[in-house]
Amino acid sequence: MEANQAVQTNAVSVKTKTKASFYQIVWRWHFYAGLFAAPFLIVLAISGGVYLFKPQIESMLYKDLYYVEQASDASEATALAPSALIHFVQQMHPDGQINSIMFYDDRTRTVEIGMTENDIASSVFINPYSGEVLGSLVSGERFTDIFVKMHSELIIGGTVANYLVELAACWTVILLLTGLYMWWPRNRASIWGTVLPRFRQKGKVFWRDMHAVPAFWLSLFILILVLTGLPWSAVTGKQISSLATSTNTGYPPYALGHGAKPESTLKTKDVAKGGPWATENLPVPVSMANNYVPLTINEAVTIAEGAKVEKPYRVVLPKTEKGVYTVTTRHTVPGGEATLHLDQYSGAILSDVRYADYGIMGKAITVGIALHEGRLFGLANQLLGLITCLGVIGIVISSFVMWRKRKPQAKLGSPTPSKDKHRTRVVFVLMLVMGVLMPLVGISIIVVFVLDRFVLSRIKPVKAWLHGA
Amino acid sequence: MIKKVAVSIMLAFVLVSSAACTASTDTQKKQHVSSQLNAEIITPESIALKQETVLQVRLTDHNEPVTKADLVQFEIWDAKKGQGKEGSQMIPAQHEKDGLYTVTTTFDQNGVYFVQTHVSVGEQHVMPKKQLIVGEVSAEELKAVQEEMLKHEQGASEGHGGHHH
């Protein structure tokens, strides 16, 4: 009887020890990962939170450019031909090269003409009813462009910053997994401290709940934001697209306006040379008799509308004699996507790819991007994104408070390493598996491991500060 | 227990992704609506005033002659009217043989003209156009035509109904 009891107690203590040991190891990973990711998460949350509201912000800031002054004009008036609008813009910017023209589905919106002048790309806004040029905005210098740059490349820009953002995003996945493991109720399940915070508690328990409870609630949304953001990333994004291509589940050929394009057929070598192609400013020298003449923008627009392309859409003008008219839609909600390439001489539709033609991954990525940008289901989507952004900021703040409370003066305050070598190794291998799925994580683990093993641990003070033991 | 579950989840992940990576790559999806309809406008080397002139268009689809086009029309207008097609003349073409469609017309004035063919074969439409010089045209006249074209583009809003609703 007594022996039996002893065995039982022993079993319980072994079990708790196992859990405690895993907890200790996971906590260390969570701590270091959090320490690295926290500053990036703050930047991503703030910039993302602002960018979510791009449509509202820009409509307000650029009201005078985006909208025609007299809305009543718009309901009655007939719009001028696209070629006329282009001509007006060309008159005001004789050296500008017109690249594209964008029509919105809102009758009070102006028409946006893309132009390059002295190597500077800009959008010129023109009232489609009166032909009055209202002004222009340099590309990349709109208010929200700053936040996009902050969000994707931390303002400093370049590949390194882009990789850092991806690295932080991938480590966030690990933060979520390790965090959920630590959050999981260990002893008896209670709603307090799991799904509801213990408000009456003070100090460490309070801050722990302020961290873990909202993090649990938002974990799914944070994960969704990370996953839907990954298609943009340099390394994982490339993997995703090659996976989609190899399984034929992504985008069909010529699906994206900015990608590869088919070519217009040069029927004979006698195509009228010289440009600019955009302006239909055709030279008619005698030697050019019996030449094929490129279609006008008006004809391209008529063909596009005949093919049931709905506004808002952008028509990109052919840049070279083999170029095509490219029509792409800019719908906020996925489903209406269309990309058409038109032969500039015959108007033949060389390719016509709609949302329905996308593979399952192409559709998923398209919907995911809309969700990420808060476009999928209107204001509710934007607010959900905003709540997640604010939540992330709060979670980082509470973790910071917890850390400061624990941190000794002279040390980093990291959780003490587990003495259980075997379990430490098990978790390490699990992390390496994550590293295979997210290559940047894998590389960073290996780099940190090597650095720690062969450099930092040889410098006593650094080792003591970093490892806390 | 947790360890085992975690390990098996990870393994499943890796297996799925590696399986997906090696999946078939050969079946390229069908090309979505790609028009292979080709219309080649054939015009005489030189066109004389007030004489019957034969204009032709040769239709091929995937390099095969199209003998049963749904619509073949020639639209001809004076280049002085710009690309707005003001006062254009629409002439239906007759199928001759082997995908060659013909119209006969007479030009009454010297100058630069546009000839556009409107072709429909099933769901496909093409509308290539050429510019023609009829009779004697001086360099000054050509320049005038060019300027006139620009002027007409400014006000041109008829005939391109597509973009206003």
Domain spans, chain B: 37-156
A10-17's contacts with Cβ under 8 Å and 24+ in sequence apart are none
What pairs with residue B57 in β-bridges? B41, B101
Any alpha helices (H) in A52-157, and if so which ranges? 54-61, 63-66, 71-76, 82-92, 143-153
Q: Does B2 touch chain A (CB under 8 A)?
A: yes
Instruction: For residues A209-238, give the mean pLDDT.
Output: 90
What is the distance in angstroms between the Cα of A203 and the nearest Cα belonging to chain B? 31
Q: How far apart are CA A152 and CA B27, in angstroms?
A: 35
Q: Are residues A220 and A283 in the same domain?
A: no
Which tokens go with B38? 């080709």
Q: What is the pLDDT of residue B156?
A: 38
Q: Does A153 touch chain B (CB under 8 A)?
A: no
Across the interface, do A280 and B132 touch by the CB < 8 Å criterion? Answer: no
pLDDT tens digits, A36-53? 999 999 999 999 999 999
Q: What is the pLDDT of residue A22?
A: 85
With beta carbons less than 8 A apart as the criterion, state whether A31 and A25 touch: no
What pairs with residue B91 in β-bridges? B74
Q: Are residues A257 and A351 in the same domain?
A: yes
Range of the domain at A264: 253-357
User: CATH top-level class for B37-156?
Assistant: mainly beta
- Whether A425 is covered by a domain: the verdict is yes
Confidence of residue A72 (pLDDT cuts 50, 70, 90): low
Which tops the pLDDT comparison, A388 or A14? A388
Q: Are residues A173 and A46 in the same domain?
A: yes
What is the distance in angstroms between the Cα of B22 and the nearest Cα belonging to chain A? 8
Q: How far apart are CA B164 and CA A81, in angstroms?
A: 9
Task: Tell how strand B64-65 and strand B52-61 pair up.
Answer: antiparallel
Choosing from A357, A390, A423, the residue where a domain stops is A357
Complex ipTM over 0.85? no
With beta carbons less than 8 A apart as the criterion, state whether B24 and B40 touch: no
Across the interface, do B160 and A81 touch by the CB < 8 Å criterion? Answer: yes
**Cα Rg of chain B (Å, integer):** 27
State chain A's mean pLDDT as an integer.
Answer: 84
Q: Are residues A44 and A153 in the same domain?
A: yes
Instruction: For residues A369-394, give the mean pLDDT.
Output: 95
Pick from B56, B160, B164, B165 the residue to mutate for testing the A interface (most A CBs within 10 Å): B160
Q: Are residues A227 and A274 in the same domain?
A: no
Q: Is pLDDT at A14 greater than 60 in this prediction?
A: no
Name the burial class of residue A216, with classes exposed (0-12), middle (13-18) and buried (19+) by CB atoms within 10 angstroms of its CB. Answer: middle
Q: Are residues A199 and A280 in the same domain?
A: no
Residues 93-112 of A with CB under 8 A from B: 103, 107
pLDDT under 70: residue ranges of chain B: 1-34, 82-84, 145-165
Q: What is the pLDDT of residue A180?
A: 93
Residue of chain A whose alpha carbon sits nearest to that of B59: A346
- Whether A372 is covered by a domain: the verdict is no
pTM of the model: 0.79
Q: What is the pLDDT of residue A31?
A: 93
Question: Residue A260 phi/psi, 5° resolution?
Answer: -65, 150
Q: What is the pLDDT of residue A331?
A: 83
Q: Are residues A298 and A424 in the same domain?
A: no
Number of Cβ within 10 Å of residue A446's Cβ equals 12
Across the interface, do A302 and B25 touch by the CB < 8 Å criterion? Answer: no
Q: Are residues A224 and A264 in the same domain?
A: no
Q: Are residues A118 and A191 in the same domain?
A: no
**Residue recorded with tokens 């999806």:** B29
Q: Does B10 touch chain A (CB under 8 A)?
A: yes
Instruction: For residues A95-118, give the mean pLDDT.
Output: 93
- Whether A215 is covered by a domain: the verdict is yes
Q: How far apart are CA A248 and CA A241, in angstroms?
A: 10
Residue of chain B whose alpha carbon sits nearest to that of A432: B10
Q: What is the pLDDT of residue B66?
A: 92
Across the interface, do A304 and B39 touch by the CB < 8 Å criterion? Answer: no
Choosing from A138, A160, A181, the residue where a domain stops is A138
- Whether A246 is covered by a domain: the verdict is no
Q: How far apart are CA A222 and CA A237, in angstroms?
A: 18
With beta carbons less than 8 A apart as the criterion, state whether A351 and A253 touch: yes
Q: Is pLDDT at A229 greater than 50 in this prediction?
A: yes
Across the interface, do B17 and A437 touch by the CB < 8 Å criterion? Answer: yes
Residues 106-125 of B with CB under 8 A from A: 112, 114, 124-125
Q: What is the pLDDT of residue B8?
A: 56
Q: Does B13 touch chain A (CB under 8 A)?
A: yes
Q: Is pLDDT at A469 greater than 70 in this prediction?
A: no
Q: What is the pLDDT of residue B159?
A: 35
> What percentage of residues in chain A have a pLDDT greater than 90?
43
Q: Which range, A143-157, A400-414, B87-101, is most confident?
A: B87-101
Which tops the pLDDT comparison, A72 or A78? A78
Select the residue of B17, B131, B163 nearest A293 (Cβ to Cβ). Answer: B131
Q: Are residues A225 and A309 in the same domain?
A: no
Q: Are residues A167 and A196 in the same domain?
A: yes
- Whether A12 is covered by a domain: the verdict is no
Which tops the pLDDT comparison, A90 or B163? A90
Which tops the pLDDT comparison, A463 or A223? A223
Residue numbers in B near A324 (CB within 8 A): none
Confidence of residue A200 (pLDDT cuts 50, 70, 90): confident
Which residues, other chains included, contact A2 with Cβ-Cβ below 8 Å and sequence gap of 6+? none
Choosing from A92, A115, A138, the residue where a domain stops is A138
Q: What is the pLDDT of residue A102?
A: 95
Overall domain count for chain A: 3
Q: How would you write B37-98 as a 3-class SS string?
A: EEEEEECCCCECCCCEEEEEEEEEECCEECCCCCEEEEEEEEHHHHHHCCCCEEEECEEEEC
Q: Are residues A163 and A42 in the same domain?
A: yes
Q: Does B58 touch chain A (CB under 8 A)?
A: no
- Spell A10-47 as b/e; 16+ CB within 10 A means b: eeeeeeeeeeebbbbbbbbbbbbbbebbbebbebbbbb
Pick from A346, A350, A433, A441 the residue to mutate for testing the B interface (most B CBs within 10 Å): A346
Q: Is pLDDT at A435 greater than 80 in this prediction?
A: yes
Instruction: For residues A385-394, give the mean pLDDT.
Output: 96
Across the interface, do A293 and B43 touch by the CB < 8 Å criterion? Answer: no
Q: Minimum mean pLDDT among A154-158, A318-322, B115-119: which range?
A: A154-158
pLDDT tens digits, A246-305? 888 888 888 777 777 788 776 544 444 333 332 333 333 333 446 788 888 999 999 999
